[in-house]
Amino acid sequence: MHRKSMRAVVEITWGPWSDSQQRAFHAEWFDPQRLSIIVAGGQDIGVLDAEVRADGTAYLARVEILPEYQGRGIGGRVIQQFVEHARTQAARTVELDVLLANVDAQRLYERLGFEHVADSRLRRRMRLQSSE
C-alpha cells in the first residue's frame, strides 16, 4: 500500500525506490499502535497514523490512500474525523509534516484549514489551531 500511494513522492525526495530503505525507515519511525486502516467498500484502501498527545497537541504522522481512491474526498473526511476526535480529547492544535514534493497533500491540508508554519530541507510543518 505504501509503495502504491507514496512511491512517486518518495522518489522525487530521495531518489529511486528501495524496499529495504522503506522497511528500515518504517521500523524506526512508525508505531503500529497509532495505525488505523482506512476501509471503503469492504476494501483496505489506506492508512492513518496519528495520535493525540498529553501536551494538548495532536500529530498527524501520515495519511495514505491508494491512488485509485484518491480525489474522492476520503482523505479529507478521515482527517476531519481525526481532528474532531482530537478535539474531544482536549487537543488545541493538530500538527503534521508533509514532504515538500507532496504538493497535492499540501493543497488538501490547506483546504482543511492547516497553515504553513515552517519548512525544513525536505518537509513542511503545518498546523491547525482549535477554533474554540
Report CA Rg, the chain: 15
Domain locations in the chain? 2-129
Q: Which of 27-36, 41-50, 77-86 has the lowest mean pLDDT?
A: 27-36
The yes-or-no verdict on residue 8 having pLDDT over 70 is: no
Q: What is the mean pLDDT of the chain?
A: 87
Predicted pLDDT of residue 11 = 66
Residue 34 pLDDT level (bands cut at 50, 70, 90): confident
Position 10 scores a pLDDT of: 61
* H or E element, residue 21: helix 19-29
Sorting pLDDT into bands at 50, 70 and 90, what band is 109? very high
State the cell numbers at 57: 497537541
Predicted confidence at residue 48, as pLDDT, reads 94
pLDDT value of residue 95: 97
DSSP 8-state assignment for residue 67:
G
Which candidate, 66, 36, 132, 52, places its Cα nearest to that of 95? 52
Residue range 2-129, CATH number: 3.40.630.30
